[in-house]
Amino acid sequence: MKKDDLITLKIEDLSSEGLGIGRHDGITFFVKDTVIGDVVEAKVMKMKKTYGHARLMRLIEESPDRVEPPCPVTRQCGGCQIQAMRYQAQLAFKENKVRNNLRRIGGIENPPMEPIIGMDAFNVEDAVAGEEAPAGMEAFLGAKALADGVTPLRYRNKAQFPIGRSRDGRLIAGFYAGRTHTIIECRDCLLGSKVNAWILDAVLKHMERYGIEPYDETTGSGLVRHVMTRVGFRTGQIMVCLVVNGRSLPHSEELCETLAAIPGMTSITLNSNLEKTNVIMGKDLKVLWGTEYIEDLIGDVCFRISPLSFYQVNPLQTQKLYEKVLEYAGLTGQETVWDLYCGIGTISLFLAQKARKVYGVELVPEAIRDARQNAELNGITNAEFYVGRAEDVLPQKYAEEGIRADVIVVDPPRKGCEESVLETMVQMQPQRIVYVSCDSATLARDLKYLSKRGCEVQKVCPVDMFGNSVHCECVVLMSRVKDFLID
């Protein structure tokens, strides 16, 4: 087998990155843009000793789970790795992925899985295309009921568009193709709000009118790097943040006047990022028009969201996720809860409605500032927030003030918990641990650590927060079955 050979493959599974998996002459091949059940002709692109990568050349036989992707740039962009898969098949794939990781990595032979929570209201009625902005947020946030085979669209409340020039010199906005910094032109991502297209049209027309150059990563020259947008699905409030390689934007008053005419516009800010880096946002923020934040609700809790705040991107599913966290926490009103990696306090304040006391811990000072403001905004007085590492804050509060933990909730980044955090959780001896994870592989690793120290997995519930992608959120309940063992 060598490069450029044509082979026929039956796609039997998907990798964690969404690549189709097929076998030919005992060799495993990974093929992008394929669906389980496809029979394809593929060209060998790269060979290793035991596996290879191949490019889809022709569909010989379509899988019964294959659908026509609604996005015209789905293959070039690569952000929606499984958009060509029927939605119910997407859910089955994600549920199976979580189960397999818990078995293979976590050593849990029969994971106590609940059915995955899929999206049941998402497909937005597109506003009528044209130069005018829609009459109101309902024009592009109204939802249809889920039907088998329908692809989840318009569920994201946040988008970040790099700005650049096409090969023929046109100003463009879009998304980076997978593992590259080549911009795939797209002003209206079908996962985001329809209003993004109007915002990007206004920004690019402004740049053309005043000769404002996009940022060039190679030379470090140019001004406009990204346009970030957020939409409050419950409030209808809209945020625009312009990320620039400088301290100001020429004729920003005129741009603000145009953007402010869009119904729901609430916040227009300028973010300065002068570093030669892949990190999108800088630290310096200036309000150009309106406020620094927008507001949105999860359940009955209102949150102020700034451009630098972490906030779940799928608000409809976020409420379902947090309701599952609340169910697993089993609060009666008498418990003390610690929320680790609490961010701006979204889970903390949701739990505070049912707990005696909630303590949130987060390393980022700005996030803790937002969490305290959100508590005050909602009149919640039984939540306190601390800046620092969980492995430092928890032992100190336990030793010096005797603050115990009936329930610990942890929602770490994709890499999972540091072992020192897990050890601290063990030392706190909670009755229950609720683990929220966006990566079932690192989740399984951490559950294995806790399981060896006196805790038992009681329930596992996957939640689809990212339809059309391979990513899956997960909530796990662990209960103490004996005193935790400390090495």
Active site residues: 438
Say how far apart CA 463 and CA 435 lie, in whole Å: 13
Q: Is the dihedral of CA 351, 352, 358, 361 positive or negative?
A: positive
Q: Is 217 helix (H, G, I), strand (E, B) or coil?
A: coil
240 Cβ contact partners less than 8 Å away, ≥ 6 residues apart: 199, 227, 228, 229, 259, 265, 267, 268, 269
Q: Is 403 helix (H, G, I), strand (E, B) or coil?
A: coil
Say how far apart CA 33 and CA 35 lie, in whole Å: 7
Across the beta sheet with 6-10, what order do the strands follow?
Answer: 6-10, 39-47, 51-61, 27-31, 20-24, 13-14
The CB density around residue 400, as the number of other CB atoms within 10 Å, is: 8
Q: How many CA atoms lie within 13 A of 195 on its CB side?
A: 31
State the residue for tokens 């029927």: 86
Say how far apart CA 44 and CA 29 lie, in whole Å: 8
